[in-house]
Amino acid sequence: MTDTNSSLTEKYPALGWVAPFAIFMLLLAVMPKLPIPQPYESVLRVLLLVGTLWYFSRDIVAAMRVKHVFGSIALGVAVFVLWIAPDALIAGWRDHWLFQNSVTGSVKTTIAPEEFADPLVVALRFARAALLVPVIEELFWRGWLPRWLVNPDWQKVQLGTYTTLAFVGTALLFASEHGPYWEVGLACGVIYNWWMWRTKSLGDIVLVHAVTNACLSAYVLLTGKYEYWM
């Protein structure tokens, strides 16, 4: 790290775990409202996320190790199947008021479907979903938040430590992040929490999440169901 970066993260150690997610959520809220055309918006978003990870979290990311490669890959594929199953098996499932309402929002993508004709937009969206989002979200959802819920002095808490509050609270909040897909988001959050508890490995949970998102992104491109790219 640079001296400035080192002193900042030493003074506020949670920044490496929380800052990338905070920036990610801010960009989700702000970027669609800015008059920035594609593909410049996608390029800028990816650069900002990569820059945030590099500045705050590169030491954490560099220390990640995957202990259960095949198990994590298999679980990631299973979660992908779970994610698309309700809509694939039950016609009109996502149209129910339980999923689209004033609280959860509506099913829509942040990029107009016609803009996916640009190969660069597609490539950046795929890379963001499969490479950046899993790292950013898991640093927060499985790396920092459950430990903080166990003990505000969260650095004393081992990764994957189980308490009912941490497990259930994290799963519910993770579900709320996914709007009209909250029910599959909840199931996904429970599975991810369970795998984190079993493996105690941030690298493994990032791999599971990356495989899920890569499969979902491939499904989007094959079927044109861009609403899965929220």
| pLDDT, position 9 | 79
Alpha-carbon span 164 to 166, nearest angstrom: 6
Residue 58 lies in a domain: no
Residue 85 lies in a domain: yes
**φ, ψ dihedrals at 50, nearest 5°:** -60, -45
Alpha-carbon span 185 to 168, nearest angstrom: 13
- What pLDDT digit, counting tens, does each position of 166-208 carry? 999 999 999 999 999 999 999 999 999 999 999 999 999 999 9
Q: Encode 96-138 in three state secondary structure.
A: CCCCCECCCECCCCCCCHHHHHCHHHHHHHHHHHHHHHHHHHH
Residue 225 CA from chain centroid, whole number = 19
Q: Which residues partner with 105 through β-bridges? A: 101
Share of the chain above pLDDT 90, in %: 88
DSSP for 140-201 reads IIIIIHHHHHH-SSGGGSPTT---HHHHHHHHHHHHHTTGGGHHHHHHHHHHHHHHHHHH--
Alpha-carbon span 198 to 128, nearest angstrom: 27
Structural domain range at position 166: 66-228
Confidence of residue 69 (pLDDT cuts 50, 70, 90): very high
The counts of H helices and E strands in the chain are 10, 0
Residue 183 lies in a domain: yes
Alpha-carbon span 224 to 182, nearest angstrom: 21
| pLDDT, position 115 | 83
Residue 138 lies in a domain: yes
Residue 19 lies in a domain: no
Q: Are 208 and 79 contacting, i.e. CB atoms less than 8 angstroms apart?
A: yes
Confidence of residue 6 (pLDDT cuts 50, 70, 90): low
| pLDDT, position 32 | 87
Residue 131 lies in a domain: yes
Residue 129 lies in a domain: yes
pLDDT tops 60 at residue 122:
yes
**φ, ψ dihedrals at 129, nearest 5°:** -70, -40
Stated pTM of the model = 0.94
Contacts of 9 (CB under 8 A, 6+ apart): 1, 15, 16, 56, 59
Rounded to the nearest 10°, the torsion over CA 69, 187, 185, 64 is -30
Confidence of residue 7 (pLDDT cuts 50, 70, 90): confident
pLDDT tops 50 at residue 1:
no
| pLDDT, position 109 | 80
Residue 57 lies in a domain: no
- The count of domains in the chain is 1
